[in-house]
Amino acid sequence: MRKIYFSVGVAAFLGVHGLMLAKIEPVYTFFFVFVWWSYIILVDSFIFWKRGFSLFSQLGTKILMLVFCSYIFWEFFELINSRLANWDYVSSPFGEVVFNNFAAKISFKILAFGSVLPVILETHNLLEFVGLGKRLKFLGWEKTDKFLKWEWWGRPSYLWIIVGIAMLAAALFWTTYLFWLVWIALILILDPVVERSGGRSIFSELREGNVRTFYRLLLTGLVCGVIWEGWNYWAGLKWVYEVPFVGGWKIFEMPVLGYPGFAVFAVECFLFYQWFECRWCRKNRRP
Neighbours of 144 (CB within 10 A): 14
Higher pLDDT, 211 or 244: 211
The answer on pLDDT for 287 being more than 50 is no
The answer on pLDDT for 47 being more than 50 is yes
pLDDT value of residue 286: 44
* Amino acid, single-letter form, for residue 254: M
pLDDT value of residue 133: 61
pLDDT for 160-210, tens place per residue?
A: 999 999 999 999 999 999 999 999 999 999 999 999 888 889 999 999 888
Distance in angstroms (rounded) separating the CA atoms of residues 283 and 70: 21
Q: Characterize the bridge pairing of strands 254-255 and 87-90.
A: unpaired
The answer on pLDDT for 283 being more than 80 is no
pLDDT value of residue 146: 75
The answer on pLDDT for 140 being more than 80 is no
pLDDT for 251-265, tens place per residue?
A: 888 988 889 999 999
Residues in contact with 263: Cβ distance below 8 Å, sequence separation at least 6, in sequence order:
217, 218, 219, 221, 222, 225
The answer on pLDDT for 138 being more than 70 is no
Omega prior to 192 cis, within 30 of 0: no
Work out the pLDDT band at 271, boundaries 50, 70, 90.
very high
User: 39-53, 113-127, 226-240, 269-283: lowest mean pLDDT where?
Assistant: 269-283
The DSSP secondary structure of 97-116, one letter per residue, reads HHTTSHHHHHHHHHHHHTTH
Average of pLDDT values for 145-149? 78
Distance in angstroms (rounded) separating the CA atoms of residues 32 and 196: 36
Work out the pLDDT band at 51, boundaries 50, 70, 90.
very high
pLDDT for 189-203, tens place per residue?
A: 999 999 988 888 999
pLDDT value of residue 151: 87
